[in-house]
Amino acid sequence: MRRYHNVPPLQFLQGFEAAARLASFSQAAAELGLSQSAVSHQMRLLEDRIGQPLFLRVGRTVRLTDAGRDYLRTVRQTLDGLEAGYRKLAPYRKPGSVVIYAPADFASRWLLPRLGDLKRSCPGCDPWIDTSGKAVDFSEMEVSIAIVYDKDAPARGLSIALLTDRLTPVAAPMLIARRRLKPVDVAGLPLLHVERAMGWTAWFELAGMDIRDASAGIDFSDGGLALAAAEAGLGVALASLPLARPAIAEGRLLQAFDTSLDPKQTWFAASTAKELEDPFTRMVWQWLERQAEVTT
């Protein structure tokens, strides 16, 4: 069976919404650039298709029936959704648009501080940063470059190893600046957790401590939010050192210890030869190659 076989033509829905809003077929026709008879004919066809009268014709004006008022809510939601969907496609229509998929923490802590340099280095380029967390498929999605956090480089396409991760305790100066902390002291402070394979228990073990339950504290799915919580003095975060470096350099965070875990994970930039045929995507790719030389 054909899907959506009960959905009338879009111009019928536009005419119905206009006529319902203006309470007039002639005013709806003027708004839509049609004749009054054309709108009236469309509404007759729409009513025949639905099997319900939608309007009460009263002289030169029209009023909605109960069924019409009910249907109007659905039609407006549909038209609003189509309009919103069109607006969402604006970045695809822009010349110079480069769609970059990236994890939220990488985007906020590594990419955002460098966007000014990217714009200066890639004139005419307008990056679109997508942090929706979708699994990227270059054959199915409109994506120029993807940032992938994994043990190995993507098996297909082209890739750049941007930076290798390390996990280390960081906290706000207000929390630890006047203390000469030992690893055992960290266990007595509020702990901030990020959803990942390695956590505080592994760090305490690396530091020579047997703390089997280090689960107390606030949990985050986004490492960038965990860093923000640490900056606010809410606790000690076992944070990605490469993502925390800007805050450490600016004095908003302190690295509590040199001891760091190796999660054996790397941020890779990934793309395809087809995507890099676009000159703006190629400029961003070359910029990422230069950044990798700086950060590795």
Say whether 167-255 and 92-165+265-295 share the same fold.
yes
**pLDDT value for 294:** 62
Q: Which pTM was predicted?
A: 0.70
> What confidence tens digit (pLDDT) does each residue in 29-73 have?
999 999 999 999 999 999 999 999 999 998 888 999 999 999 999
CATH topology of domain 92-165+265-295: D-Maltodextrin-Binding Protein; domain 2 (3.40.190)
Domain 167-255 sits in CATH 3.40.47.10: no
**Full DSSP string of 5-43:** TTPPPHHHHHHHHHHHHHT-HHHHHHHHT--HHHHHHHH
**pLDDT value for 91:** 66
Give the CA angle between residues 194, 241, 254 to the nearest 5°: 95
Ranges of each domain in the chain: 10-88, 92-165+265-295, 167-255
Arithmetic mean of pLDDT, 5-20: 93
Give the rounded percent of residues in the chain with a pLDDT score beyond 70: 96
Arithmetic mean of pLDDT, 99-103: 94
Phi, psi torsion values for 162, nearest 5 degrees: -80, -55
Closest CA to 266 of 98, 100, 110: 110
Give the rounded percent of residues in the chain with a pLDDT score beyond 90: 72
Higher pLDDT, 141 or 247: 247
Question: Residue 176 has which token pair?
Answer: 């630890």
In this model, does residue 212 exceed pLDDT 90?
A: no
209: pLDDT confidence band, cut at 50, 70 and 90? confident
Confirm if 43 and 16 have CB atoms less than 8 A apart.
Answer: yes
Q: What is the DSSP letter of 275?
A: G
**pLDDT value for 145:** 95
> What confidence tens digit (pLDDT) does each residue in 61-82 have?
899 999 999 999 999 999 999 9
Look at the alpha carbons of 3, 7, 11, 17 in this order and tell me if their dihedral is positive or negative: negative
> What confidence tens digit (pLDDT) does each residue in 121-180 have?
999 999 999 998 888 888 878 889 999 999 999 888 999 999 999 999 999 998 887 667
CATH architecture assigned to 10-88? Orthogonal Bundle (1.10)
